[in-house]
Amino acid sequence: MRFIAADFGAGSGRVMVGTICTGDTLPCANTGTNIKLEEIHRFGNEQRMIDGHLRWDFEALFNELKTGLKKAFAKYGDEIKSIGIDTWGVDYGLLDKDGRLISNPVCYRDDRTKGMMDKAFQRLPKEEFFQHAANQFMEINTAFQLMSETDLQCAERLLFMPDLFNYFLTGKCYNEFTIASTSQLLNSLTHEWDDVVFEKLNLPKRLMQKIVYPGTVIGRLTDELAEEVGGNANVVAVGSHDTASAVGSISDTSDDWAFISSGTWSLMGTPTKEPIISKEALESDFTNEGMTDGRIRFLKNITGLWLIQQLVKEWEQEGYKCDYSELVKEAEQSSLSSSFDVDDARFMNPERMSQAIVSYLEEKNEQLPVTKGDFMRCICISLAKKYAEVKEQMERCTNKKINKIYIVGGGSKNQLLNSLAAEYTGCEVIRGEVEATAMGNILVQLEIEKLRI
Q: Give the catalytic positions in this structure.
A: 242
Cβ(425)–Cβ(258) below 8 Å: no
Cβ(341)–Cβ(350) below 8 Å: no
Cβ(70)–Cβ(62) below 8 Å: no
Q: For residue 160, what are the β-bridge partners?
A: 92
Of 336, 344, 424, the C-alpha closest to 385 is 424
Q: Report the 10 Å Cβ neighbour count for 46.
A: 12
Cβ(40)–Cβ(16) below 8 Å: yes
The DSSP symbol for 338 reads -
118-126: long-range pairs with CB below 8 Å, 24+ = 119/147, 120/144, 120/147, 120/201, 123/200, 123/201, 123/202, 124/196, 124/197, 124/200, 124/201, 126/282
Cβ(304)–Cβ(383) below 8 Å: yes
**What are the angstrom distances between the C-alpha of 427 and each of 115, 391, 450?**
38, 10, 36
Q: For residue 49, what are the β-bridge partners?
A: 54
